Amino acid sequence: MESTEYLLTVNIAKELNKIKGSKFVTLENNVREILKNANAKIRGKLKEDMRPDGRCDIVFWWGRGDVRGIIEVKHVVHNYKKIEKDVVRIINMLKKDSNMEFGMISFYTDSYY
């Protein structure tokens, strides 16, 4: 992970941790484990576009220990192609019958003239 992306990830996680109530935040969890901990009902093999052996940048957990949501963090996004695979993966993860409530992508972009 590039240092700017890591800085964004850590700061988002710190802000999530300020939310009142029982919860916790982790970084770089495995997709297959995320779905398992979200109590996802999975039939058969996971689609390859879900990157089952890949990782999600931030996982937001219920205090009771199951996954509430996932966040992907990207840097220097200038067009949709840069995040398209992540969008597809998050949508496919959310389509599973699970305790997961949300998935999102956070990014920044900059430009120098």
pTM over 0.75: yes
What does the block give as tokens for 73?
Answer: 């963090």
In the predicted structure, residue 32 carries a pLDDT above the cut 90: no
CA 15 to chain centre: 15
Calpha distance 12→58 (Å, rounded): 8
Mean of all residue pLDDT scores within the chain: 88
* Residues 70-98, mean pLDDT to the nearest whole number: 91
Mean pLDDT value across residues 19-33: 91
